[in-house]
Amino acid sequence: MLRLIAHRLVVSVALVFVVSLLAFLLQSAAPGDLARAVLGQNFSVAAHEQLRHQLGLDQPVLTQYGHWLRDALHGDLGTSPVSGLSVAGEIAGRLPVTLSLIGCATVVTAFAGVALGVVSAVHGGRIGRVVDVLSLIGYALPSFWFALTMVTLFAVTVRLLPATGYVALGASPAGWARSLVLPVATLALPGIAVFAKQTRDAMLDALSRDYVTALRAHGVPESSVVLRHALRNAAIPVVTLVGLTFIGLLSGTVFVESVFAMPGLGGLAVQATSLHDIRMIQGVVVVFTVIVVAVNLLVDLAYGWLNPKAGLR
């Protein structure tokens, strides 16, 4: 297991480096000029060239990346030339919003999807068909339609939940929970169907194994057979899906944060891209990459716990 973790850490460091370099190169090649965005509409050629020199934009791209990488290794992600704010400070202020949104959506998706999948596999018949229909409906509904419908019902008509905004957990736990209900539901709905299908297939395969028949023959309670034995053996593909869902929701936050006016990293990335703010984009890309790496490492550790043989490979 330690060898597996060490290998993953080495690969992760290389991955962060490669992704940050590609992001820098692609953003530098994209249309737009950071100096023009800072100066606005009316500026002289001399002022434009002077600002480009001050920002280091007249240097080769790889030289610019080298300077950024050197500072980043010392914990300094730089200052946005557009807003004048610290990149690390802006990301630190918005990161809890995105992590709260993605974390809660992943938990809701996993628990609801696994529960539906287990019920569908164990009971089958009419209950299984109902679960399948509900799962497919949830997967087929467009996210934007569901988001607008939820806002109309629960924020405008009933006025039970806020339509926009975010309340920090430290300021008010109840307000934090209420501000997350609608965006989390919007993110979680499509994934529940995927979890339900994956869990049902894995559970049906586990319940058909000989050891389950032997456990039942020895009088082991059905709840123990299903939850302690079959579900644990069916959990490895589900754990993989948890990691993929968490990572996939990173892109989904861009839409959700825009609809519900939440100050997260998705909105910051869109704003920085429109302004050609390379330093802010680099900071967001690095943070997203680190999150992906951390989630993959946790999935590997979960593999080792669920199946000790996985840690020996």
pLDDT value at 312 more than 50: no
Per-residue pLDDT band at 1 (split at 50, 70, 90): low
pLDDT tens track for 157-201: 888 888 888 898 888 999 999 999 999 988 888 788 778 888 888
* Three-state DSSP state, 219: coil
pLDDT tens track for 8-67: 778 878 888 888 888 888 777 766 667 776 776 777 777 777 777 777 777 788 888 888
Q: Give, in order, the Cα–Cα distances in Å from 116 to each of 22, 163, 174, 186, 198.
A: 41, 28, 28, 18, 10
Rounded Cα distance between 184 and 245, Å, is 13
> ∠ CA 202-208-209 to the nearest 5 degrees?
95
Tell me, what's the pLDDT at 4? 66
Smallest CA-to-CA distance from 303 within 240, 224, 256 is with 240
Q: Supply the CATH classification number for the domain 88-274.
A: 1.10.3720.10
Smallest CA-to-CA distance from 179 within 268, 102, 93, 101 is with 101
On whether the CB atoms of residues 263 and 97 are closer than 8 A, the answer is yes
Domain extents in the chain: 88-274
